[in-house]
Chain A
Amino acid sequence: MTAFPALAEAFGNIEIVLVWGLVATLVLTVGMYASQGLGVSRLSLPFLMGFYVTRRRSRAAIFGLLLYMFGGWVFAFLYAWLFATLGFSGWQWGLLGGLLHGLFLLAVILPLLPYLHPRVASPYSGPTARRRLEPPGFLGLNYGRMTPVTTLVSHAAYGSILGWALPG
């Protein structure tokens, strides 16, 4: 199937995408929070997203979680679109997609955060009044050695759920 009919199909399954997108996002969120709570990693995507839009810690916690849940739905649509385009789905393909998704986040997005995020400091210019968050570094390793593992496992779970639930 080509891209545009596939997009129409993804929107046609909107209830499934919304419900399973929410479930997958919850699992992803729990996985990431658990790794933080257990002291395995300090990476918190809701924390980073929250501070993208506000400088207040209390508001960042709420806004970040809302943005993160919304982002989970957006990605669920992208997964639905991808599966519809490919014409097949399944938890194995979802798992593969989740791993690639997590790897992209770790290897591309996180290292670029000092240039994308208004509050993440850069090791080249140092902290400023506005930019004072520790940068995550390559693979998020600044936030703990296990960060790549927990991020990949959480995203793999997210992808697997969507691959299992969404039609191909």
Chain B
Amino acid sequence: MAGRTLEVPIGREPESARSALPHASRTAGQRFPDIGSYAVIGDCRTAALVGADGGIDWACFPDFSGDAVFATLLDRSVGGAFRLCVLDPVEVTTLYVPATAVLETTARTQRGLAIIREAMSTLNEEEDCLEPEVEILRQIEIVEGEVDVHLLFEPRTDYGATPVRLKSKGRLGWSFARRSRFFNLATDLDVRSSVDGTRLEGTTQLTAGARRDVSLSFVSQDPGVVPPLGPEAHARMTRTVDWWRNWTASIAWDGLYRDAIVRSALCLKLLTHARSGAVIAAPTTSLPEDVGGSRNWDYRYCWLRDASLTTRALVALGCMDEAGAFLDWLLHATRQTSPRLRVLYDVYGGDRIPERVLSHLHGWRGSRPVRIGNTAHDQLQLDGYGQIIAAAAEFVAGGGHLGATQRRYLSGLGRVVRRRWREPDAGIWEIRGERRHYTHSKMLCWTAIDCLIRLTEDGFLTENVEELARTRAEIARTIEEECYDPQRGYLAAIGWKDPDASLLTMPKYGYLDARDDRFRQTFETIDRELTVGDGLLLRYPSGFDGLRGLENAFGITSFWAVEALARMGRLEEAKRRMETLLDCASDFGLFGEEIDAATCGVLGNYPQAFTHVGLILAAEAIARADEREQR
């Protein structure tokens, strides 16, 4: 089972104890933990990253792309702090409670043993009660002996730029408000406010049988809600565990890699915005693709490029409710800007996402600038049309239903594709600068038309199939004549000889069979020229995007290669690569956007939905190939 165990030699001061010293948040320096050492908790509206020292180092409110009140992930000195830990531990093990997104840390000291459970407690079913919008609930229970428990709470708004003044509200706890947003920290641990009122800190000695709670609640606009501690808090934690277990019980996957699939499904669920159905790319911003470099982007939004594969992964998992909600969001969001599509949207379908640099933040291991917002939203990506139509086709293939408005909208998108497929664009990788005729974009335009034909033949649409078939053939002719090189296979773009790993998805979209010689040749070129480690692939060669700095191996392209191998019938090789990639997961079975080829460490925004989608689809392809072989 994935998890993290830290053994601390007796007599040596552990990191958690050092960082729990008074004023630690000011003096901790800028030593950043590995990205892969973080676990993620969430409530399907927002998420928080929990570090090995018991610190919540990243949490945004009220939703994924809201203001970060804890941003220690990006700056150890001004990012604030919300740390709950046991002092002087000799061994600390952190695991997810099986089949949930609830964390459980077992900390042993020389004098005792404590268990800390933490989660975001408020989930969908509780919305109709008097509950806060968000609650981070942390509970500690002393199992044996005597344990010193340390709590440090120092929130800062505006991504760490503004310290807050905490007001004591008697037995309700401490609160602060920022504009219309209200936060309340309630705890039955001993804490004292600092002189300037910006920080709470305290150490409590607890003995076996003691149980204490820490609850950070958040409400916007309305009067605040302060959830009670004690047995009520215990009941909330139990409900949360049960909620996640019930959800994972519905995952339809009994095949290979079940643990990795369940963790990936939980990751996708954590990154799904319950109120809108949107699936965001990742809950973080500016975790770098290149340590110390400038490839730092804000991923707390929804990318169209992920749409059809995400839908397909959800359908493969049997999560038809989530797939339907995601498709509804997708069609709703893109209809607002249709016929022009944005590259990304926020969770409510908004398309105004201005990019801003947060110069006060140091950046993870000095990776600057730290950006919020994303100007990529204004690029032209023609593959977006294909993604939407293919997502609808995947949903229908899984047994879903399309409404009359949705069908009309898909037909309208088809007309746009027929009109615009010859144009150059920024491509799936959002390459800034001059537009190019990317093969992948042309292929997704082909996919759009192909899916429309299938939907028409299945009776969902009433399109002119002959006209569509003519367009499909014309696009295919362009790809075959201008994007294919007999020596290298399909190329990244017309006039460019470079390989592009996104073309590994050609069989997935049905453009050609994986056993076709043209695809084999394409695979070999990509595998030969883009491999940077065992089973690890770049998405394109260095310098192809015109940016300075090096790229690392891309998570999803590496899983695409596994899928391609399985589809090509090279099952053993696919399985071997799959195992290798699974070994690159973080301590908690999670993947970021990229993988460091040298250390196999996690890089880029984390955890990344797209990579987990790749993992699920690779496992699905292996399972199918396995089935075929056994037959």
**One of B130, B177, B179, B221 near A133 (C-beta < 8 A):** B130
Question: Could you tell me if A132 and B130 are in contact, using CB atoms closer than 8 angstroms?
Answer: yes
Quick one: which of B110-155 are within 8 Å of A by CB? Answer: 127-130
Contacting chain B: which of A23-31, A65-73, A118-126?
Answer: A118-126
State whether the Cβ of B222 lies closer than 8 Å to any Cβ in chain A.
Answer: yes
Scan A123-138; emit 1 where CB is below 8 A from any B CB, else 0. Answer: 1111111001111100
Residues of B within 8 A of A57 (CB): 127-130
Scan A38-50; emit 1 where CB is below 8 A from any B CB, else 0. Answer: 0111111001100
CA distance A136 to B170 in the complex (A): 14
State whether the Cβ of B419 lies closer than 8 Å to any Cβ in chain A.
Answer: no
Question: Could you tell me if A127 and B186 are in contact, using CB atoms closer than 8 angstroms?
Answer: yes
Can you report 30 residue pairs joining A to B where beta carbons are below 8 Å apart?
A36-B222, A37-B221, A39-B221, A40-B180, A42-B182, A42-B219, A42-B224, A43-B223, A44-B221, A47-B222, A51-B130, A57-B129, A57-B130, A119-B130, A123-B169, A123-B170, A123-B172, A124-B171, A126-B172, A126-B229, A132-B226, A132-B227, A133-B223, A133-B225, A134-B169, A134-B184, A134-B219, A134-B226, A142-B169, A142-B175
Question: Could you tell me if A126 and B171 are in contact, using CB atoms closer than 8 angstroms?
Answer: yes
Which of the four size classes fits the interface of chain B? Answer: 20 to 34
Residues of A within 8 A of B184 (CB): 134
Residues of B within 8 A of A48 (CB): 223
- A36 and chain B: residue at smallest CB distance: B221
Quick one: which of B251-303 are within 8 Å of A by CB? Answer: none
- B227 and chain A: residue at smallest CB distance: A132
A54 to chain B: closest CB distance in Å?
A: 9
Quick one: which of B180-202 are within 8 Å of A by CB? Answer: 180, 182, 184, 186
CA distance A122 to B226 in the complex (A): 11
Majority secondary structure of chain A interface residues (helix, strand, loop or mixed): loop
**One of B130, B186, B223, B227 near A42 (C-beta < 8 A):** B223
State whether the Cβ of B228 lies closer than 8 Å to any Cβ in chain A.
Answer: yes
Question: Could you tell me if A127 and B222 are in contact, using CB atoms closer than 8 angstroms?
Answer: no
B128 to chain A: closest CB distance in Å?
A: 5
State whether the Cβ of B629 lies closer than 8 Å to any Cβ in chain A.
Answer: no
B121 to chain A: closest CB distance in Å?
A: 13
A24 to chain B: closest CB distance in Å?
A: 24
Give A residues with C-beta under 8 Å from B: 36-37, 39-44, 47-48, 51, 55-58, 60, 119, 121-129, 132-136, 142-144
Known: A48-B223, A135-B172. 12 other contacts (CB 8 A): A42-B180, A42-B222, A56-B128, A56-B129, A57-B129, A58-B128, A125-B171, A132-B228, A133-B223, A133-B226, A143-B223, A144-B177
State whether the Cβ of B434 lies closer than 8 Å to any Cβ in chain A.
Answer: no
In the A-B complex, the 5 residue pairs with the smallest Cβ-Cβ separation, listed nearest first, are A123-B170, A134-B224, A126-B171, A39-B180, A127-B228
Residues of A within 8 A of B127 (CB): 57
CA distance A135 to B167 in the complex (A): 14
Residues of A within 8 A of B172 (CB): 121, 123, 126-127, 134-135
- B126 and chain A: residue at smallest CB distance: A57
CA distance A160 to B179 in the complex (A): 29
